[in-house]
């Protein structure tokens, strides 16, 4: 099946179960969804997508949170911690500064474990339970491990997380630890961790819940559905553009899939689909390189570095799904410096929106693309922020002001303030 925005919906193959099946995006090989544990196409090694015989429209959605959209998901609600239904913030100072018609921030850091990963885990762990696996695992720059550990604990399944040694923010390690995961610190970067977890999953030792798992992206798809509904309610129209940080490119892939399915169901016109615009740190920007050079695939960056640890990834596994999403929607990708990210983090904080560095990349990217006149003044823009401020308290403290020592009496404090 084509990854193009105007591709028609697929017909259900014999392998479909209750109108759900898996399909390879490269060779169109189809698989039953819940018979075997599989992460990539057994025929060609390509990425898999979850496909549906019946695609919903907005009128089919009811309730709140991720499971409001159960008609667009492969399983019914099971393991949940009330994820989703995150706020869409107005940011008037940033809106005025950037000069766009409307600017909102979709803050996924307001999910239960503080990041968008909860959306994918509520679906992915429910699928794991249906498959009958007994050990969950992920490689992580921190947020995935925190979410998987919480949902693994909730479902009473053993959880294993592989983290790059010394490269994960303390707040995220603390979450995985408190939720009872077994934490392995790997001598290598995130991509090394993912290589190992993929090997463990292929050999049947663990059930992989990184975004290579197509079921996890189904949960993340609900970000896009919420943004459309919230913007429609707030401004009377869908956003022209969604600007989002890119690490493994799972969210870019998931949002594009959500919009493709709405087009296929007739709920959304092609010209109403928001332009997907990815932002990476300059020290970890293989997706930007591919977009700028017009490549159909990314070249793996073996060495990556940025203080935005959540997007410190050199080999985005979902690039084959995300690159068509950027191009088919008329979007683009841009790289920003760490200093630009920190400046955006401070600006968001001044609006009362506290995010970790990787989240602020979206606002930094918006600023840069406005300066380049790539984003127009008349656009309705949503910036996606993916993780909470307290995910990386050290970077937050470094970006903020220093404490001021004062005497231990009222007069001394007043003298200091007046001085």
Q: What angle do CA 281, 362, 288 make, to 5 degrees?
A: 45
- Beta bridge partners of residue 383, listed in sequence order: 105, 243
Q: Is the pLDDT of residue 15 over 80?
A: yes
Question: Is 342 known to sit in a ligand binding site?
Answer: no
Cβ(164)–Cβ(193) below 8 Å: yes
Alpha-carbon distance of 255 to 338, in angstroms, equals: 26
The pLDDT tens digits for 165-189 are 888 888 888 999 999 999 999 999 9
For each of the domains in the chain, give its residue range(s) and CATH number, in order of start.
1-54 (no CATH), 88-114+215-399 (3.40.50.1100), 117-208 (3.40.50.1100)
Q: Is the pLDDT of residue 62 over 60?
A: yes
Q: Categorize the per-residue pLDDT at 397 as very low, low, confident or very high, splitting at 50, 70 and 90.
A: confident
Question: Is 386 known to sit in a ligand binding site?
Answer: yes
Question: Is 143 known to sit in a ligand binding site?
Answer: yes
**The pair of three-digit structure tokens given for residue 235, joined into one six-digit string:** 């401004």
Confidence at residue 172, expressed as pLDDT on a 0 to 100 scale: 87
Q: Mean pLDDT highest for which of 9-13, 217-221, 400-404?
A: 217-221
Question: Is 248 known to sit in a ligand binding site?
Answer: yes
Q: Which long-range contacts (CB under 8 A, 24 or more apart) does 292-300 make?
A: 292/333, 296/323, 297/323, 298/323, 300/191
Q: Is the pLDDT of residue 163 over 60?
A: yes
The pLDDT tens digits for 112-137 are 999 999 999 999 999 999 999 999 99
- Beta bridge partners of residue 90, listed in sequence order: 104
Confidence at residue 2, expressed as pLDDT on a 0 to 100 scale: 78
Confidence at residue 74, expressed as pLDDT on a 0 to 100 scale: 97
Alpha-carbon distance of 243 to 333, in angstroms, equals: 9
Our CA dihedral for 3, 211, 52, 82, rounded to 10 degrees, sits at -130
**Predicted model pTM:** 0.95
Task: Count the Cβ atoms, other than its own, within 10 Å of residue 192.
Answer: 17
Phi, psi (degrees; rounded to nearest 5) at 265: -80, -10
Alpha-carbon distance of 143 to 147, in angstroms, equals: 6
Confidence at residue 173, expressed as pLDDT on a 0 to 100 scale: 87
- pLDDT above 70 covers a percentage of the chain that reads 100
Output the CA torsion sign for 124, 125, 126, 128.
positive
DSSP per-residue letters across 152-182: HHHHT-EEEEEEETT-S-HHHHHHHHHTT-E
Q: Helices 117-131 and 143-155 sit at what angle, rounded to 10 degrees?
A: 40
Alpha-carbon distance of 289 to 335, in angstroms, equals: 9
Q: Is the pLDDT of residue 1 over 60?
A: no
Question: Is 247 known to sit in a ligand binding site?
Answer: yes
Running DSSP on this structure, what letter comes out for residue 66?
Answer: G
The structure tokens 């995935």 sit at: 144
**Pairing mode of beta strands 102-107, 88-90:** antiparallel
Cβ(146)–Cβ(175) below 8 Å: yes
Cβ(94)–Cβ(103) below 8 Å: yes
**Pairing mode of beta strands 241-245, 30-31:** unpaired
Q: Distance from first CA to last CA of the chain, Å, rounded?
A: 69
The pLDDT tens digits for 240-295 are 999 999 999 999 999 999 999 999 999 999 999 999 999 999 999 999 999 999 99
Confidence at residue 255, expressed as pLDDT on a 0 to 100 scale: 98
Question: Is 46 known to sit in a ligand binding site?
Answer: no
The structure tokens 């979850």 sit at: 50
Alpha-carbon distance of 290 to 301, in angstroms, equals: 12
- Beta bridge partners of residue 277, listed in sequence order: 243
Question: Is 85 known to sit in a ligand binding site?
Answer: no
């Amino acid at each position: 099946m084509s990854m193009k925005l105007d591709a028609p919906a697929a017909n259900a193959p014999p392998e479909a179960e209750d109108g759900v099946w898996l399909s390879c995006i490269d060779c169109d090989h189809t698989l039953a969804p819940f018979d075997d544990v599989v992460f990539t196409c057994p025929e060609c090694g390509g990425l898999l997508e979850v496909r549906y015989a019946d695609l919903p429209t907005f009128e089919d959605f009811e309730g709140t949170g991720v499971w409001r959209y159960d008609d667009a998901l492969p399983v019914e609600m099971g393991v949940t911690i009330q994820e989703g239904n995150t706020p869409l913030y107005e940011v008037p100072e940033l809106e005025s500064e950037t000069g766009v018609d409307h600017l909102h921030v979709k803050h996924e850091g307001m999910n239960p474990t503080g990041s968008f990963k909860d959306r994918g885990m509520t679906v992915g762990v429910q699928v794991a339970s249906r498959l009958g696996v007994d050990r969950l695992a992920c490689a992580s720059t921190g947020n995935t491990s925190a979410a998987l550990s919480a949902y693994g604990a909730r479902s009473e399944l053993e959880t294993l997380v592989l983290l790059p040694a010394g490269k994960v923010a303390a707040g995220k390690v603390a979450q995985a630890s408190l939720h009872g995961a077994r934490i392995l610190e790997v001598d290598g970067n995130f991509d090394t961790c993912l290589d190992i977890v993929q090997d463990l999953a292929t050999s049947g030792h663990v059930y992989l819940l990184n975004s290579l798992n197509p079921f996890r992206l189904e949960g993340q798809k609900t970000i896009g559905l919420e943004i459309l509904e919230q913007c429609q309610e707030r401004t009377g129209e869908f956003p022209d553009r969604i600007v989002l940080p890119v690490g493994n490119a799972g969210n870019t892939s998931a949002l594009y899939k959500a919009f493709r399915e709405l087009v296929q169901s007739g709920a959304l016109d092609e010209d109403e689909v928001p332009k997907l615009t990815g932002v990476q740190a300059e020290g970890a920007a293989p997706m930007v390189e591919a977009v700028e050079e017009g490549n159909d695939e990314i070249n793996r960056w073996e060495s990556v570095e940025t203080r935005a640890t959540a997007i410190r990834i050199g080999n985005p596994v979902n690039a084959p799904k995300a690159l068509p999403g950027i191009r088919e929607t008329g979007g683009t990708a841009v790289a920003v410096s760490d200093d630009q990210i920190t400046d955006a983090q401070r600006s968001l904080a001044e609006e009362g929106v506290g995010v970790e560095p990787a989240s602020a990349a979206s606002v930094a990217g918006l600023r840069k693309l406005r300066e380049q006149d790539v984003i127009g003044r008349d656009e309705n823009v949503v910036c996606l922020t993916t993780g909470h401020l307290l995910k990386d308290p050290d970077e937050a403290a470094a970006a903020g002001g220093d404490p001021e020592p004062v005497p231990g009496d009222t007069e001394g404090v007043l003298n200091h303030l007046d001085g």
